[in-house]
């Protein structure tokens, strides 16, 4: 289905797509590394609770940490081996976090324990959700939000549409693209399970038009009994943002501060759906994922199936190493990903790609004063005023940023920074402002409590 | 252990191609045809006046501005634009002084690039007009030999300029206002009329403006809304009072083209919201018509823009974009 005169969201930017390096490179399986590092915090929500001890032997697929509460998922060993350490380890977000380090067994066939494969058609929605949570499934598009939570909308919010996000609007990345081209049946199988679980009749797979082979593969394999359409989307960043995708497909804007379910939609990443399919095909939990290793700084750009927990250095080595002018390593896409300084940092469930940029792309640029050109206003997909927000951030007026200029609606997509001719790091400033605002609010709340207490005490004295 | 060799930066890690110096120098480039026209019509005097204003601006920026700020090109724009609003015969010391004023008081006093409320070039011109009204309203004609100076450009400071043997004449707006005479439209469009250096070549100004609009280096809404409001208002008035000029004359005479395309669109001093741009342009257009038809001066573009400049913060505040997911577009 072409979208020649179709509707697109307003604003947004057009960074160079740079997908040519890997978009036609088939997915390969990377061999098991010597050592893997599995952080207990790989998903949004509460970190998992560790179940193993130093010295324990684990099989591939064994649960090594269990979900801690509802918005949490377990972690499974992605290779057989021995737990050699449980301690602080570099995490892709830049912090050190509690991590289980496993020495991978040499010459192991890496065969998981025999397990029951659940028969999806006989399961109630609750059982499906439990299986999805138990499989450790999170959104594979980057945010790593536990998938089972999205499969449980409150009763009073009827879900009409299941939207599958195959936009992959970040430059360089081809993870979802290759998944759709090579495993379209798996996508449809996953869709079938989710549609049954949510009780929805209609599903739409949104794919940017720069992936005609993915659109063709998905359309060719739609099962006759499923109401699934593949919708071509205008190539524009951030088309893959949940709110943008919903707006384009349904014509509805998710109200500010609300969730997709408030407009009757659930959005899932294509990779997450394929993972759910795998759980119900093989019974194996989420222990490996497709990662695009690309960029001008990598010698052999590839699409790889990587065991979760594989360290950055091992992945790069397998891809032929870095070029001389490699200057910055980014986990995720270049628009929203995070720079990595440490070769020991593991690939986690939310790592969509490893992009190595060269000096010419990341050369530090001189910052100029804001000239109020308004380019950021015409780039912001949620219609904020980044120019004004930037000036307020510099002045430390976080309260005004929130009350008058809707700081919390910023999703840090980076479009404003991308277009700013004065090279003002707007989205970075907004990320910092959000943190600062939270701190201020907590401090204010604490102070209020204290004064209340004092008043009470005074009142008690008087009495 | 060797020093870490990888950059650690916040996202986004790639940057669009535009930069502030690139925008500024593109504006300078798009002024080139207008400058050539000025030299074509006014000879060496044009070169001298433009050099004097630009030098005044650049030196002031160099001495009082933040280090390296000359590279962004904004001082050169101010200098050239100021020069283009002056008559060819103006003594150079006045032009130079205008440049100093424009950058010093019009821009640096507010805090430099991006901070100023008023268009610096127009502020410089307003200062000159107040200080030297006679020199600012002596308009040499475009006739006469090309190489001749169009006035006593080399007059010494505070001396009365020597009368120079050159033909001076009124601008089309002056003719219209004070003598009720009309100038042919064709002459207005190609610019062979009296007037300040850069206001005569309407076609070339539009050409430069179109280039900048395509590159998104100026907001097309501003000139369009100025043109529309001037045309509509003046045509309505023309219908009821036939002695007042019609829309085409109003559009192509005086400094309207230069003002609408290059001055009103100054990013720093115009609204950054799209709706704000429409309001701002319409306001300028209305003020231009009012001043031209009923004010004491024949031309009103400068004051119209400066007045609307002062309203920009309020316009911005009143025209904030609608937040995604609010208003009637959001599903209830």
Residue that has been written with the tokens 């759709």 in this structure: A180
Residue A2: pLDDT over 50: no
Q: Does B242 touch chain A (CB under 8 A)?
A: no
> Do A414 and A15 form a contact (C-beta atoms < 8 A)?
no
- Assign domain B20-316 to its CATH architecture: Orthogonal Bundle (1.10)
Range 107-126 of B in CB contact (< 8 A) with A: 112-115
Q: Are B13 and A330 in contact (CB < 8 Å)?
A: yes
Range 260-299 of B in CB contact (< 8 A) with A: 267-268, 270-274
- Residue from A371, A388, A393, A410 whose CB has the most chain B CBs within 10 Å, to mutate: A371
Range 412-441 of A in CB contact (< 8 A) with B: 412, 414, 417-423, 425, 427-428, 431
Q: Are A419 and B6 in contact (CB < 8 Å)?
A: no
Q: How far is the C-alpha of A73 from the C-alpha of A43, rounded, in Å?
A: 8
Residue B68: predicted pLDDT: 81
Provide DSSP, A75-130: EE-SS-EEEEEEEEEE-TTSSEEEEEEEEEPTT---PPPP-PPP-GGG--HHHHHH
Q: Which residue of chain A is at minimal alpha-carbon distance from B267? A: A373
- A-B C-beta contacts closer than 8 Å: 169
Q: Which residue of chain B is at minimal alpha-carbon distance from A332? A: B11
Burial class (CB within 10 angstroms; exposed 0-12, middle 13-18, buried 19+) of B95:
buried
Q: Are B331 and A378 in contact (CB < 8 Å)?
A: no
Name which of A327, A341, A377 is nearest B272 (Cβ-Cβ): A377
Q: Which two tokens stand for residue A393?
A: 């951030």
CA distance A443 to chain B (A): 27
Q: What average pLDDT does the segment A275-281 reach?
A: 92
CATH class of A1-29+119-360: alpha beta
Side-chain-side CA neighbours of A7 within 13 Å: the count stands at 11
Name which of A253, A374, A418 is nearest B330 (Cβ-Cβ): A253
Residue B298: pLDDT over 80: no
| B143-181 per-position pLDDT tens digit | 667 777 777 777 777 766 666 555 566 677 777 666 666
Confidence of residue B140 (pLDDT cuts 50, 70, 90): confident
Give the lowest-confidence range in A108-122, A381-395, B156-170. B156-170
Q: Are A368 and B273 in contact (CB < 8 Å)?
A: no
Q: How far is the C-alpha of A283 from the C-alpha of A453, rounded, in Å?
A: 55
Residue A412: predicted pLDDT: 94
Question: Mean pLDDT of all residues in chain A?
Answer: 91
Side-chain-side CA neighbours of B309 within 13 Å: the count stands at 25
Residue A108: predicted pLDDT: 86
Q: Does B144 touch chain A (CB under 8 A)?
A: no
| B18-66 per-position pLDDT tens digit | 999 999 999 999 999 999 988 988 888 899 999 999 999 999 999 998 8
Question: ipTM higher than 0.85?
Answer: yes
Q: Which residue of chain B is at minimal alpha-carbon distance from A368? A: B20
Give the lowest-confidence range in A231-245, B107-121, B196-210. B196-210
Pairing of β A265-269 and β A288-294: unpaired
Work out the percent of chain A whose per-residue pLDDT is above 90.
79
Q: Are A383 and B7 in contact (CB < 8 Å)?
A: no
Gyration radius of chain B's alpha carbons: 21
A426-454 as b/e: b if 16+ CB within 10 A = bbbbbbebbeebeeeeeeeeeeeeeeeee
Enumerate residues 6+ apart whose C-beta is below 8 A from A252: A246, A263, A264, A265, B330, B331
Q: What average pLDDT does the segment A34-46 reach?
A: 94
- Residue from B5, B6, B21, B119 whose CB has the most chain A CBs within 10 Å, to mutate: B6
Query: Dmax of chain A from CA atoms?
Result: 80
Residue A3: predicted pLDDT: 47
Residue B1: predicted pLDDT: 41
Question: Mean pLDDT of all residues in chain B?
Answer: 86
Residue A109: predicted pLDDT: 87
Please list every residue in chain A whose beta carbon sits closer than 8 Å to the beta carbon of residue B8.
328, 339, 341
Q: What average pLDDT does the segment B197-211 reach?
A: 85
B292-329 as b/e: b if 16+ CB within 10 A = bbebeebbbbbbbbbebbebbeebbeebbbebbbbeee
Q: How far is the C-alpha of A73 from the C-alpha of A93, rounded, in Å?
A: 19
Please list every residue in chain B whose beta carbon sits closer than 8 Å to the beta carbon of residue A312.
none
Please list every residue in chain B whose beta carbon sits closer than 8 Å to the beta carbon of residue A369.
112-115
Q: Are A368 and B72 in contact (CB < 8 Å)?
A: yes
Q: How far is the C-alpha of A427 from the C-alpha of A390, rounded, in Å?
A: 9
Per-domain residue ranges of chain A: 1-29+119-360
Q: Which residue of chain B is at minimal alpha-carbon distance from A355? A: B13
Tell which residue, A244, A266, A251, has the closest CA to residue A163: A266
Please state the separation of Cα A210 from the chain's center in Å. Answer: 21
Residue B328: pLDDT over 90: no
CA distance B213 to chain A (A): 12
Three-class SS of residue B23? helix
Provide DSSP, B272-307: SSHHHHHHHHHHHHHHHHHHHHHSSSS--HHHHHHH
| A52-93 per-position pLDDT tens digit | 999 999 999 999 999 999 999 999 999 999 999 999 999 999
| B180-191 per-position pLDDT tens digit | 666 677 777 666
> Do A405 and A387 form a contact (C-beta atoms < 8 A)?
no
> Do B54 and B79 form a contact (C-beta atoms < 8 A)?
yes
Give the lowest-confidence range in B7-11, B73-77, B220-224. B7-11
Residue A6: pLDDT over 80: no
Dihedral sign from CA coordinates of A393, A394, A400, A406? negative
Residue A59: predicted pLDDT: 93
- Count each helix (H run) and each strand (E run) in chain B, helices first: 14, 0
Q: What average pLDDT does the segment B81-103 reach?
A: 93
Provide DSSP, B215-256: TTSS-THHHHHHHHHHHHHHHHHHHH-TTS--HHHHHHSTTH
Q: How far is the C-alpha of B255 from the C-alpha of B278, rounded, in Å?
A: 20
Q: Which pairs with CB-CB distance under 8 Å and at least 24 residues apart come from A209-214?
A: A209/A2, A209/A3, A209/A233, A209/A234, A209/A235, A210/A17, A210/A19, A210/A235, A211/A23, A211/A166, A211/A168, A211/A177, A211/A180, A211/A181, A213/A181, A214/A166, A214/A177, A214/A180, A214/A181
Q: Are B11 and A425 in contact (CB < 8 Å)?
A: no
CA distance B227 to chain A (A): 21
């Amino acid at each position: 289905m072409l979208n020649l005169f179709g509707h697109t969201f307003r604003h947004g930017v057009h960074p160079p797509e740079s997908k040519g390096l890997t978009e036609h490179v088939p997915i390969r399986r990377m061999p098991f590394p010597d050592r893997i590092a599995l952080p207990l915090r790989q998903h949004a929500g509460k970190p998992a609770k560790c179940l193993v001890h130093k010295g324990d032997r684990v099989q591939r697929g064994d649960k090594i940490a269990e979900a801690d509460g509802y918005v949490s998922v377990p972690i499974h060993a992605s290779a057989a081996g021995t737990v050699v350490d449980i301690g602080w380890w570099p995490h892709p977000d830049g912090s050190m976090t509690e991590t289980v380090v496993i020495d991978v067994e040499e010459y192991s066939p890496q065969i998981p324990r025999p397990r029951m494969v659940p028969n999806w058609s006989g399961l109630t929605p609750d059982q499906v959700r439990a299986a999805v949570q138990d499989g450790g499934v999170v959104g594979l598009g980057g945010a790593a939000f536990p998938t089972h939570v999205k499969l449980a909308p409150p009763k009073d919010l009827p879900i009409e549409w299941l939207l599958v996000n195959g936009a992959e609007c970040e430059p360089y990345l081809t993870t979802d693209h290759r998944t759709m081209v090579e495993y379209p049946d798996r996508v449809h199988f996953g869709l079938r399970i989710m549609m049954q679980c949510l009780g929805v009749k209609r599903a739409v797979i949104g794919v940017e038009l720069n992936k005609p082979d993915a659109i063709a593969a998905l359309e060719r394999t739609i099962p006759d009994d499923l109401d699934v359409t593949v919708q071509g989307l205008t190539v524009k960043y951030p088309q893959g943002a949940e709110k943008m995708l919903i707006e384009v497909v349904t014509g509805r804007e998710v109200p500010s501060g609300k969730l997709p379910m408030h407009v009757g939609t659930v959005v899932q990443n294509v990779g997450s759906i394929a993972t759910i399919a795998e759980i119900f095909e093989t019974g194996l939990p989420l222990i490996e994922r497709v990662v695009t290793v690309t960029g001008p700084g990598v010698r052999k750009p590839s699409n790889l199936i990587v065991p979760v927990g594989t360290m950055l250095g091992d992945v790069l080595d397998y891809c032929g190493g870095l070029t001389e002018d490699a200057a910055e390593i980014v986990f995720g896409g270049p628009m929203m990903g995070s720079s990595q300084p440490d070769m020991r940092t593991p690939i986690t469930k939310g790592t969509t790609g490893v992009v190595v940029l060269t000096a010419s792309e990341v050369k530090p640029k001189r910052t100029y004063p804001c000239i109020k050109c308004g380019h950021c206003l015409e780039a912001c997909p949620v219609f904020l005023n980044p120019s004004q927000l930037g000036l307020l951030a510099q002045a430390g007026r976080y309260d005004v940023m929130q009350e008058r200029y809707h700081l919390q609606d910023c999703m840090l997509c980076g479009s404003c920074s991308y277009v700013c001719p004065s090279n003002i790091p707007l989205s970075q400033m907004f990320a910092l402002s959000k943190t600062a605002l939270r701190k201020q609010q907590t401090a204010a709340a604490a102070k209020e409590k204290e004064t209340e207490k004092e008043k009470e005490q005074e009142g008690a004295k008087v009495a | 252990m060797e020093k870490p060799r990888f950059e650690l930066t916040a996202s986004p890690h790639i940057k669009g191609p535009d930069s502030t110096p690139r925008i500024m120098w593109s504006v300078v480039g798009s002024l080139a045809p207008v400058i050539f026209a000025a030299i074509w019509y006014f000879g060496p005097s044009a070169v001298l006046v433009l050099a004097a204003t630009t030098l005044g601006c650049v030196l002031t920026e160099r001495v009082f501005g933040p280090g390296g700020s000359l590279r962004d090109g904004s001082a050169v724009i101010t200098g050239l634009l100021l020069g283009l609003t002056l008559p060819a015969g103006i003594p150079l010391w006045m032009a130079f002084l205008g440049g100093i004023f424009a950058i010093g008081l019009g821009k640096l006093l507010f805090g430099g690039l991006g901070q100023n409320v008023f268009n610096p070039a127009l502020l410089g011109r307003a200062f000159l007009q107040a200080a030297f009204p006679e020199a600012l309203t002596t308009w040499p004609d475009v006739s006469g030999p090309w190489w001749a100076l169009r006035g006593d450009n080399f007059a010494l400071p505070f001396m009365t300029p020597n009368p120079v043997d050159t033909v001076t004449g009124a601008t089309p707006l002056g003719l219209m206002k004070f003598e009720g005479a009309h100038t042919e439209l064709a002459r207005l469009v190609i610019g062979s009329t009296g007037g300040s250096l850069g206001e005569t070549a309407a076609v070339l100004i539009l050409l430069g403006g179109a280039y900048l609009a395509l590159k998104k280096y100026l907001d097309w809404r501003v000139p369009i809304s100025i043109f529309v409001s001037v045309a509509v208002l003046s045509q309505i008035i023309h219908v009821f009072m036939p002695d007042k000029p019609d829309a085409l004359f109003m559009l192509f005479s005086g400094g309207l083209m230069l003002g609408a395309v290059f001055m009103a669109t100054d990013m720093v001093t115009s609204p950054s919201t799209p709706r704000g741009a429409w309001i701002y342009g319409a306001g300028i257009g209305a003020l231009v018509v009012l001043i031209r038809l009923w004010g004491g001066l024949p031309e009103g573009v400068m004051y119209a823009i400066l007045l609307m400049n002062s309203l920009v913060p309020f316009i911005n505040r009143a025209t904030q974009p609608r937040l995604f997911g609010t208003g009637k577009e959001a599903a209830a």
